[in-house]
Structure 1
Amino acid sequence: MVSDDINLYTNSVDKFVDKLWVIGIFAFGTTQAFRCLKNSQIKYNKINWL
C-alpha cells in the first residue's frame, strides 16, 4: 500500500513539474518577445525622428 501511495505521489509531482516547466518556458518566451518588440519599436522611432 505504501509503495502505491508513493508512486501516485511521484507521478502527480512529475506532472506538476512538467506543467511548471511548460509555463516557465512560455512566460520566458513571451517576455523575451515583448522585449524584442519594445527594442524594435524604439529603433523604429529613432529612424522616424531622423
Structure 2
Amino acid sequence: MMRRVFGITGWKNSGKTTLTEKLVAELVRRGWEVSTVKHAHHDFDIDK
C-alpha cells in the first residue's frame, strides 16, 4: 500500500492549523485514512 506524507510549514499565525483542518476534513470526505503529527517545542498528546 502506498503512503503519502505531506508537510505544512509557515510563520506563526499564517494559517497552518486552519489549512490542516480543512485538508484533513476533505481527505477524510474522499475516503482517505488520515493521521497528523505536529512538531512543537513543548509536550504534546498523541491521538488514538
Q: Under a length normalisation based on structure 2, what TM-score does the superposition of the two structures give?
A: 0.39
Higher RCO (CA 8 Å, separation ≥ 6 residues):
2
Q: Which has the higher helix share?
A: 1
Work out which of the two has the higher radius of gyration on C-alpha atoms and give 1 or 2: 1
Q: Under a length normalisation based on structure 1, what TM-score does the superposition of the two structures give?
A: 0.37
